[in-house]
Amino acid sequence: MPDDQFPEDMPGQMIPQSSDLSGVLQPVETARGLPNAHYTDPDIYDEERKSVMFANWAGIGFAFDTPNAGDAMPVEFMGMPLLVVRDGDGGLGVFQNTCRHRGMILVEQKTNVRGTIRCPYHSWCYGLKGELRSTPHVGGPGQNLHENIKRNELGLTEIRSYVWRDIIYVNIDGTAAPFPDYAAGAMARMKDHDKPLYHGDGFSFEVKCNWKLAVENYCESYHLPWIHPGLNSYSRLEDHYHVKNDGAFAGQGTKVFQGMQGDNGEVFPDFNGLPEFWDKGAEYPVVFPNVMLGFQRDHFFTVLVLPQGPEKSIERVEIFYGFDPAERPDLDDLRAKNTAQWKSVLKEDLFVVEGMQRGRHAVHFDGGKFSPVMDNPTYDFHHWVAKQVEKGRTFGG
Amino acid sequence: MELKALDETLLAAHAAQDKSMLVSLYHQAGDHMLDLGNIDAACFYLTHAYIFALDTNDPSAGAIHRILASHGREE
């Protein structure tokens, strides 16, 4: 059918400039999922970058990436150049990775800054807390001062950041509620797990899908018996439940978690002092927009979904324990087994999210239909995204 | 060191990105110009010494800063 024969209200038709979200904002019983354009269209991707990712608290990396004073790590998040810096007092700051002079990228590769962050262009120098320390020749050769160059006004542009469970969250546009308010539901629900975390292992996947599909799939347990049949023997669908919250938080949990055991019966030590619930309980929520979490009694993991374009994402997975792995080499093999198991489980999801991505090019797909019983957390995410986009369209910015 | 020789050594240090050497050489050049009473040239070289000292957390940064500040070239 030639393009000019599409009726105006063709379901799923690409709408490049905007999209109709009224169907997404209905109750779960009658709602439709986000239109195709939210998964394929570069303009909508840019709109979500601003309204969903930059206007909220997005995960960009981990505090353990920069453990030492002076560690500086550039992070490009949806095209936004950021610089994570560990200062001399042990604090972590996130800055725009650009010089206040000519906008040059300051740090190209992860490094340890011995003295100062020096712009490679005209050598303007910044301290680890972002303060402008020197502006060589700014008033002429050998004249490093000028009345119009006020150093106290020209420090690095700081980005709001917050570290929770070693994850670095940023609110790039500066308009979101403070993180403890924004993530109050998640923080309250998971307060049992406020324990020291030790990083164990990590891995990542490059996935050919829009970032939202990874989140949507992770939110619900409906797919588990089909995609992860290995779970059926001990974690049946009826053992799972929705983790639901009115805020930027949803997911699923299980009542029958079994900790991993090594060939010689070795197990990971549990996090200290967890209530009895966690003996068999485990929860897998998402802090919207892009941080997927896994809470178990003996380890914790997180998956950052890092968008690389409308149809490509990176899933960065990091696993943490309640003990220092360096002090328990006897558990190295068990850790490796645990990492391999999660890698295998998460890999099982890849064909699904990539398949849904290709499905979003089907012009008659209308966003899909939610099960009012099984898809609630996924619906919550769609609804939340739609609300953020609508907010952006209403208030601009 | 003669200025020409100093210039060649500086270029070699830049090429090698030997920042500690750059601090030392620019400091020498600045001191030499101070001895000649050429304050602007001295502050040019000392500015470079100072920036590379900041860059490498070289302990001479404080002393160089004091010279530049005394001539109104730094805060």
Angle, CA of A314, A316 and A317, to the nearest 5°: 145
pLDDT of residue A334: 97
CATH architecture label of A177-386:
Alpha-Beta Complex (3.90)
pLDDT tens profile A198-231? 999 999 999 999 999 999 999 887 777 777 777 6
The pLDDT tens digits of the residues spanning B26-75 come to: 999 999 999 999 999 999 999 999 999 999 999 999 999 999 999 999 99
Q: Which of A114-118, A271-275, A345-349 has the lowest mean pLDDT?
A: A345-349
The 3-state secondary structure of chain B reads CCHHHHHHHHHHHHHHCCHHHHHHHHHHHHHHHHHCCCHHHHHHHHHHHHHHHHHHCCCCHHHHHHHHHHCCCCC
Burial class (CB in 10 A: 0-12, 13-18, 19+), B32: middle
Q: Whole-angstrom Cα distance, residue A185 to residue A382? A: 18
pLDDT the model gives residue B1: 61
A47 contacts A66 by C-beta, under 8 angstroms: no
Are the C-beta atoms of residues A381 and A219 closer than 8 Å to each other?
Answer: yes
- Determine the Cα–Cα distance for residues A31 and A23; give it in Å rounded to an integer: 5
H-assigned helices in A236-287: none
The residues of A whose Cβ lies within 8 A of any Cβ of B are: 114-116, 118, 123, 125, 133-134, 136-137, 141-145, 151
Chain segment A29-53, per-residue pLDDT in tens: 999 999 999 999 999 999 999 999 9
Contact A80, A174 (CB under 8 A): no
Query: Which chain A residues are Cβ-neighbours of B75 within 8 angstroms?
Result: 145, 151
Lowest-confidence pick of A26-30, A257-261, A305-309? A257-261
Determine the number of helices (DSSP H) and then strands (DSSP E) in chain A.
9, 17
Cβ contact B56–A118 (<8 Å): no
Q: Among partner residues B48, B54, B72, which is closest to A116 by beta-carbon distance? A: B54
Q: Parse chain A into domains and list their residue ranges.
A: 59-163, 177-386
**How far, in Å, CA of A283 to CA of A253, rounded?**
4
In degrees and rounded to multiples of 5, residue A213 shows phi and psi of -65, -35
Fold for A59-163, please state it.
Rieske Iron-sulfur Protein (2.102.10)
CA distance A344 to chain B (A): 45
Average pLDDT over residues A331-358: 95
Record: contact B47-A115, CB cut-off 8 A = no
Give tens-digit pLDDT for A249-302.
Answer: 999 999 989 889 998 999 999 999 999 999 999 999 999 999 999 999 999 999
State the Cα–Cα distance between residues B6 and B24, nearest whole angstrom: 11
